[in-house]
Amino acid sequence: MTFPYTKEVLEHFRNPRNVGKMEDPDGKGLEGSAACGDMVAVYLKVNPDTLVIEDISFESYGCASNIATASVITELAKGKTLEEAKKITWKEAANALGGLPPVKAHCSVLAVEGLRSAIRDYEEKHGMVVEKEATTTEVVSKRLKHVMNPMAGLDIIRTELVLKVVVEEGNVRIVLDIPSTHQFAAAIKEDIVDKLESLWDVESVTVDFIS
């Protein structure tokens, strides 16, 4: 049987570029789920005057294709403006790796979505979003699908950790089905606030626990 990975994929897998968590990033994005086998976090440092991505790094949980595509995405995006980086496609990433097995094509899609999520995070935090969608319970729930439940490896929506979402005059309240003393309570709360507070019309985010 022919080995499915190209030499480029193996090179980026064995020697990934720009790997590691970035301290105090200007923008960050998380896509995927550890329970599904692949997850990518992307971190950005952006020049506020030129909007050029001056530094970028990633963390990955998954297979060789996942690590390799996240690695090559950082190389493709570094030095580009945010608008230029938005145009990077999964096909471009796969081509830069000499191709991927069809069953692994989703890995390049995941890496690109992680990059776009980090760019969106930066733009929201800096008031750059032109099309301003009003924050509703549906919008909040969609954001919460990107908050992981460490106990299950899936997001807090699918694991039914969220008991209630209330959006009222710019104030968002989330009620979680775990006690405040739970070992992951603080981390989940921090992630929720981080995902929601950058929304343009949100003034406050409150996370309550069952006790």
State yes or no: is 107 an active-site residue: yes
CA atoms within 13 A of residue 109's CA, in its CB half-sphere: 6
* 76 close to 92: Cβ distance less than 8 angstroms: yes
10 Å CB burial of residue 66 (0-12, 13-18, 19+) is: buried
Distances, alpha carbon 29 to alpha carbons 4, 74, 100, 175, in Å: 29, 13, 23, 23
Catalytic pick among 14, 15, 20, 36: 36
Catalytic pick among 72, 93, 107, 148: 107
Active site residues: 36, 107
